[in-house]
Chains A and B, each alone.
Chain A
């Protein structure tokens, strides 16, 4: 069975600083990996996904993530944080046969 661990339930960065949200996964088969963002009182929105091919994946709003098989990681980054990036971020994994398994989420705060 797959599982996801998001390190840090809350991350705080200054506006303009690098954003790094960590995600490690466990899967017995090559995984499909996803990052979602949730703004207050809204549903989850897909930021980016990795299925096969290029391991560096670019998403919306300037975010990207890199699949590192040797480290079983799929960390989310953004070079320069904006106030509008403040939200909850969820990493998810699928084995290609069963529904996505979501992590517990990381709340990102951006300080002016």
Chain B
């Protein structure tokens, strides 16, 4: 595997379910990010991790819970989501938090 991978690519979940999104980067980077991309809305930065420490949380609801066990892996734990949370969730990584970011293919999430 090369670059940034995300699993699953598609996810349908009910509002009472608990699921997790996984991201893995094979680039040796130190920073990782979660973004939300909704139709007809700007890209929204959700969380930033630098050297496994969370450095930004942009007022994200607590039903989204990130986890970064090491510099190569990033998870987004989801619980009791709302239909408006349906979106493409993108993971990215960069050498340092101000450098160019490399994106995964995204997870298309549908909340029913």
Please give the residue numbers on chain A whose beta carbons come within 8 Å of chain B beta carbons, in ascending order. Answer: 32, 34, 36, 41-46, 49, 90, 94-100, 102-105
Closest CB in chain B relative to A93 CB, distance in Å: 10
Closest B residue, CB atoms, query A46: B100
Please give the residue numbers on chain B whose beta carbons come within 8 Å of chain A beta carbons, in ascending order. Answer: 4, 31, 33, 42-43, 45, 48, 56, 88, 90, 92, 94, 97-106, 108
A-B contact pairs, 14 of them (CB 8 A): A32-B100, A36-B103, A41-B106, A41-B108, A42-B105, A43-B4, A44-B101, A44-B103, A90-B43, A99-B31, A99-B48, A99-B98, A100-B101, A103-B42
Contact A97 B43 (CB under 8 A): no
Enumerate chain B residues within 8 angstroms of A105, measured Cβ to Cβ: 42-43
Main secondary structure of the interface of A (DSSP, over half): loop
Closest CB in chain B relative to A34 CB, distance in Å: 6
Contact B102 A46 (CB under 8 A): yes
Question: Which of A44, A90, A95 neighbours the largest number of chain B CB atoms within 10 Å of its CB?
Answer: A44
Contact A34 B100 (CB under 8 A): yes
Contact B108 A99 (CB under 8 A): no
Q: A95 to B42: give the CA distance in the assembly, Å.
A: 20
A96 with B98: in contact, given A43-B105, A102-B43, A104-B42 (CB under 8 Å)?
yes
